[in-house]
């Protein structure tokens, strides 16, 4: 028996308060009927005796103390799932907006999910080929990994994401699909993704969830949860390999901050709530593979670093949870290098176990170590050159500068449609290293050098 509550006792931001409620359950979904005939959805976020705070997903605009009728459903936020959701477009709460009608659910699930038992996890090892040299060679994406892209406003992260979706393939060619969740993105960006997917003829294996920049922020908080619930369903019930793209996590975190403020919570760093880490973790940790079940959830969240600051709480906390990061760099972007991946701070933590003989090639680890170590030295040489001028550099440093330029122009830089094979990428890396004298390659053992080094001998 559903009880209707006819009044509210307060409205503040996206929070509505009711008093005199019995039997409310924490985090249950409520329906709010306004007298103008519209219906909104909310979620119980705090209970104090008979006083209940409800977070209203569509915003509280137009609500008054007396014009709202509230019904407690007794159920948590759920999403309808079926194999037919592939190729469909939904709003931020998982309701269809492509005009193709409701999804006939095979099952419904709580969007909050449950943590994966670490004992049941399968340690991810198979790499996903992206055809992008900087990623494949130096920050290899592994199936079941969460590898975010740290970008900044105006950089080409959207293009990079599209290129990854278009070119991504698994070594064994198994069933592969993409769940794409847009949180607070601009209308034309969402449109860009949609057209790109259609042009690349991949739309039939994409599920899109769109919460646009002008949609309510409270809905935005649910969007990634709906997306990940869909992904878990497709992966672990339908046994597909799912890549989840969440963009833009910065909008998500800001929505969380706004909402936390309206609840009157004590803010932590930069006004973000103290539980931002736990909250982000409850999303990112839903990536993974299971031992007994075929399928995987790989996550590639995109976030724009406010003011390109990697120490800002959002990239900072993200980096602590995810298994590495791909960092884009504005200087490279200005130089016209695409994708502008800053390889030194970029890292894939799972890469060490997913590359080498049997996965990619036996020289992969050595090559990537050496490329990074040499490129790090290039930065020192550059810093010195900016003080004393490149002419004054030692012979070794001049070689390094030359190597650095070639590395950026030939290795990092590639076209939007270029899909390099692993062998092409690795051979290119060796060709570049061969520009340096052999004694400067201190991360590679003699045997590997013998086989791949093609520069001066001695």
Partner 1 sequence: MTAYQIYGINGPVITVRGETGLQMMETVYVGNARLIGEVIGLQQDKTTIQVYEETAGLKVGEPVYATGSAMSVTLGPGLLGNIFDGIQRPLPALEKQFGAFIGRGAKFSPLDTEKTYDVHLCIKVGDRLSGGDVYATCPETSAVEHKVMLAPNLSGTVSEVLPDGAYHVQDTVARLQTDDGKTVDLTLMQTWPIRTPRPTRKRLPADRPLITGQRVIDTVFPVAKGGAAAIPGGFGTGKTMTQHQLAKWCDADIIIYVGCGERGNEMTQVLSEFSELTDPRTGKSLLDRTVLIANTSNMPVAAREASIYTGITLAEYYRDMGYHTALMADSTSRWAEALREISGRLEEMPADEGFPAYLPSRLSEFYERAGRTETLNGSEGSVTLIGAVSPQGSDFSEPVTQNTKRFTRCFWALDKSLAYARHYPAINWTLSYSEYTNELTNWYRDNVSPQFSSDRDELCALLQEENTLMEIVKLIGADVLPDDQKLVIEIARVIRVGFLQQNAFHAEDTYVPLEKQYKMMHVILHLYHRAREVVARQIPISVLLQTGIFEQLVKMKYDVPNDKTEMLDDYIRDIDAAVDGILR
Helix (H, G, I), strand (E, B) or coil at 102: coil
Q: Residue 99 and residue 105: Cα distance in Å, rounded?
A: 17
On the 0-12 / 13-18 / 19+ scale of CB atoms within 10 A, 296 is: buried
From the list 62-70, 369-377, 409-417, 426-434, the region that binds partner 1 by CB under 8 A is 369-377
Smallest gap, in angstroms, from Cβ of residue 284 to partner 1? 8
Closest alpha carbon to 126 in 83, 176, 82, 89: 176
**136 DSSP 8-state letter:** I
- What residues from 55 to 74 belong to the interface with partner 1 (CB under 8 A)? none
* Minimum distance from residue 369 beta carbon to partner 1 (Å): 5
Total residues interacting with partner 1, rule: CB under 8 A: 86
Dist. CA 74–CA 24, nearest whole Å: 7
Binding residue for partner 1 (CB under 8 A) from 213, 290, 431, 435?
290
Please enumerate in sequence order all residues whose Cβ is within 8 A of that of 360, keeping only pairs 6 or more positions apart, or say none. 127, 140, 354, 422, 426
Q: Kindly state whether residue 26 participates in binding partner 1, applying the rule CB under 8 A.
A: yes
Quick check: 27 binds partner 1 (CB under 8 A)?
Answer: yes
Considering only residues 113 to 132 of the shown chain, the ones binding partner 1 according to CB under 8 A are 113-124
User: Candidates 32-40, 61-69, 261-269, 413-421 — which segment interacts with partner 1 by CB under 8 A?
Assistant: 261-269
Least CB distance to partner 1 at residue 118 (A): 4
Q: Between 25 and 435, name the residue whose CB sits nearer to partner 1.
A: 25
405 binds partner 1 (CB under 8 A): no
**Which of 36/445 has CB closer to partner 1?**
445
Give me the least distance between CB of 191 and partner 1, in Å please: 33
* Residue 278 lies near partner 1 (rule: CB under 8 A): yes
How far apart are alpha carbons 452 and 458 in whole angstroms?
14
- Cβ within 8 Å of residue 446, ≥6 positions away: none
Mark 142-159 as b/e (b = at least 16 C-beta within 10 Å).
Answer: bbbbbbbbbbbeebbbbe
Q: Which one among 312, 364, 420, 452 touches partner 1, defined by CB under 8 A?
A: 312
Find the binding residues for partner 1 in span 199-238 (CB under 8 A).
236
State yes or no: residue 13 binds partner 1 (CB under 8 A): no
**With respect to partner 1, which residue has the nearer C-beta, 201 or 457?**
457
Decide: helix, strand or coil at residue 427.
helix
State both tokens at 434.
């061969």
Q: Tell me: does residue 50 bind partner 1 (CB under 8 A).
A: yes
> Rule CB under 8 A: is residue 49 a binding residue for partner 1?
yes
Q: Are strands 68-72 and 29-34 parallel, antiparallel or unpaired?
A: antiparallel
Among 36, 172, 391, 442, binds partner 1 (CB under 8 A): 442
| Closest CB to partner 1 among residues 34, 290 | 290
**Whole-angstrom Cα Rg for the chain:** 25
CB of 367 to partner 1, least distance (A): 12
Q: Binding of partner 1 at residue 415 (CB under 8 A)?
A: no
Cβ neighbourhood burial of 27 (10 Å; 0-12, 13-18, 19+):
middle
Does 313 bind partner 1 (CB under 8 A)? Our answer is: yes
Site for partner 1 (CB under 8 A): which residue of 34, 200, 344, 435? 344
Least Å from the CB of residue 276 to partner 1: 9
Q: Which stretch binds partner 1 (CB under 8 A): 176-184, 201-209, 288-296, 417-425?
A: 288-296
Residue 148 interacts with partner 1 (CB under 8 A): yes or no? no
- Of 84 and 392, the one with the shorter C-beta distance to partner 1 is 392
Contact 229, 109 (CB under 8 A): yes
Of 31-39, 194-202, 305-313, 329-337, which segment contacts partner 1 by CB under 8 A?
305-313
262/442 Cα distance (integer angstroms) = 56
Distance from the first to the final alpha carbon of the chain: 86
CA distance 448 to 438: 12
For residues 78 and 397, give the distance between their C-alpha atoms in angstroms, rounded to a whole number: 60
Let me know: does 97 contact 91? Beta carbons within 8 Å.
Answer: yes
* CA–CA separation, 175 and 240 (whole Å): 5
Query: From the list 320, 362, 405, 451, which residue makes contact with partner 1 (rule: CB under 8 A)?
Result: 320
User: Hey, which residues between 178 and 197 contact partner 1 (CB under 8 A)?
Assistant: none
196 or 298: whose CB is closer to partner 1?
298
């Amino acid at each position: 028996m559903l009880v209707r509550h006819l009044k509210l006792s307060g409205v503040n931001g996206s929070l509505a308060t009711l008093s005199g409620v019995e039997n409310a359950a924490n985090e249950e979904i409520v329906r709010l009927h306004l007298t103008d005939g519209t219906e909104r959805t909310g979620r119980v976020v705090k209970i104090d005796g008979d006083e209940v705070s409800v977070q209203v997903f569509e915003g509280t605009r137009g609500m008054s103390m007396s014009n709202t009728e509230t019904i407690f459903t007794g159920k948590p936020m759920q999403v309808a799932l079926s194999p037919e959701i592939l190729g469909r477009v939904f709003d931020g709460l998982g309701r269809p907006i492509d005009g193709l009608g409701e999804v006939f659910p095979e099952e419904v699930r709580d969007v909050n999910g449950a943590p994966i038992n670490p004992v049941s996890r399968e340690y991810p090892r198979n790499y996903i080929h992206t055809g992008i040299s900087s990623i494949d060679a130096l920050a290899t994406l592994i199936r079941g990994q969460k590898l975010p892209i740290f970008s900044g406003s105006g950089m080409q992260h959207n293009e990079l994401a599209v290129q990854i979706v278009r070119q991504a393939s698994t070594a064994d060619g198994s069933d592969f699909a993409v769940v794409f969740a847009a949180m607070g993105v601009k209308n034309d960006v969402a449109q860009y993704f949609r057209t790109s997917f259609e042009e690349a003829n991949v739309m039939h294996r994409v599920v899109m969830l769109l919460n646009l920049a002008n949609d309510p922020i409270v809905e935005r908080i649910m969007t990634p949860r709906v997306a990940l619930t869909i992904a878990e369903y497709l992966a672990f019930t339908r046994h597909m390999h799912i890549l989840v793209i969440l963009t833009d996590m910065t909008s998500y975190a800001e929505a969380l901050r706004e909402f936390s403020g309206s609840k009157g919570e004590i803010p932590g760093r930069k006004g973000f709530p103290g539980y931002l880490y736990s909250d982000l973790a409850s999303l990112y940790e839903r990536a993974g593979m299971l031992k007994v079940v075929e399928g995987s959830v790989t996550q590639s969240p995109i976030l724009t670093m406010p003011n390109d600051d990697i120490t800002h709480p959002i990239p900072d906390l993200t980096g602590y949870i995810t298994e590495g990061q791909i960092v884009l760099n504005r200087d490279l972007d200005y130089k016209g290098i695409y994708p502008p991946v800053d390889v030194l701070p970029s890292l894939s933590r799972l890469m060490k176990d997913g590359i080498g003989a049997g996965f990619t090639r036996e020289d992969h680890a050595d090559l990537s170590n050496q490329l990074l170590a040499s490129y790090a030295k290039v930065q020192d040489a550059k810093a010195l050159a900016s003080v004393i001028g490149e002419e004054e550099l030692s012979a070794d440093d001049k070689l390094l500068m030359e190597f650095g330029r070639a590395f950026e122009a030939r290795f990092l830089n590639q076209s939007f449609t270029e899909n390099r094979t692993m062998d092409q990428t690795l051979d290119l890396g060796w060709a570049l290293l061969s520009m340096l004298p052999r004694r400067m390659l201190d991360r590679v053992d003699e045997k590997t050098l013998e086989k791949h080094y093609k520069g001066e001998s001695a």
